[in-house]
């Protein structure tokens, strides 16, 4: 049980550090770059779902 608490503490500590440094040092997002990423996001998620389904059944 102690290992579980230590693991959860480390996970939450890591997330807190990511949030802290992300808010402090992250640059504002460029709308053009976000549009390019959004164009690829949905097809890649669909491909991931199809490949995951094939992996499950084969």
Residues 38-54 have pLDDT tens digits of 999 999 999 999 999 99
For residue 26, the model assigns a pLDDT of 86
Q: What percentage of the chain reaches a pLDDT higher than 70?
A: 100
Q: What count of residues does the chain have?
A: 58
- pTM value is 0.51
Q: How sure is the predictor about 28, in pLDDT bands with cuts at 50, 70 and 90?
A: confident
Q: H/E/C letters for each residue in the chain?
A: CHHHHHHHHHHHHHHHHHHHHHHHHCCCCCHHHHHHHHHHHHHHHHHHHHHHHHHHHC
């Amino acid at each position: 049980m102690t290992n579980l608490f230590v693991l959860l503490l480390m996970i939450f500590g890591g997330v807190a550090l990511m949030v802290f440094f992300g808010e402090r040092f992250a640059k504002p997002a460029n709308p053009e770059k976000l549009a390019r990423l959004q164009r690829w996001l949905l097809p890649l998620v669909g491909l991931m779902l199809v490949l995951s389904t094939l992996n499950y059944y084969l």
